[in-house]
Amino acid sequence: MKKAIFPGSFDPITLGHYDIIERGVKLFDELIIAIGINADKKYMFSLEQRKKFIEDCFKNEPKIKVVTYKGLTVDFCQKNNVDFILRGLRNPADFEFEKAIAHTNRDLAPIETVFLLTAASTSYISSSIVRDVIRNHGDYTKLVPKTVRIK
C-alpha cells in the first residue's frame, strides 16, 4: 500500500492545495493531509477550523485522512508507515526551498518526496495572500474551496 502525507499549516486550505490533493490522491492508496502544529506560529484560523475546512472538503473521498501532528514530518512518517511526502510547487522559489527540505528529510529517514506542479490557474494563490485578502475584507471565496467560509 502506497501511503503519502501532504503536510502543511493550511491556514487556510487554498484552491492550490485542493488541486494538489485532488491529483495526488490518484497516485497513492492513502493520502494523509497532516496539519502541522507549531506553537511559535500565529494562525488566523484555529486548528479545529482548519481541520474541519479540509475534512468537509474531502468528506466523500475515502482515500483521504486528515490528522494533526507535532514535530518532524519524517518522524510522523516513520510512526505511521508513510513512505512518501507530497508537495506542491508554484514557482522556482518554492522548488529551491522544498528541495532543501526534501534532501534533509531523506538524510533523516528513507522518505521520498514527490513534487507536483500546481495548475497554472492556481499558481499565484498562497495561504498568506488569502489571509491578507480576508484581513482587508476582499473577496477571498475565489481563492479557497467552498468549505472555507468566515461567518
List the binding residues for ATP: 9-10, 17, 88-90, 98, 122-128
Distant-in-sequence, close-in-space partners of 60: CB < 8 Å, separation ≥ 6: none
Report angle CA 107, 22, 58 to the nearest 5 degrees.
105
119, 83 contact by CB (below 8 A): no
Instruction: Compute φ and ψ for 33, nearest 5 degrees.
Output: -90, 110
Q: Which residues are catalytic?
A: 17, 41, 90, 127
Q: Which candidate, 67, 61, 78, 71, places its Cα nearest to that of 24?
A: 61
Binding residues for substrate: 9, 41, 73, 87
What are 74's three cell numbers?
A: 519524517
Q: What cell numbers appear for 54 in the block?
A: 479540509
Q: Which residues are annotated as a binding site?
A: 9-10, 17, 41, 73, 87-90, 98, 122-128
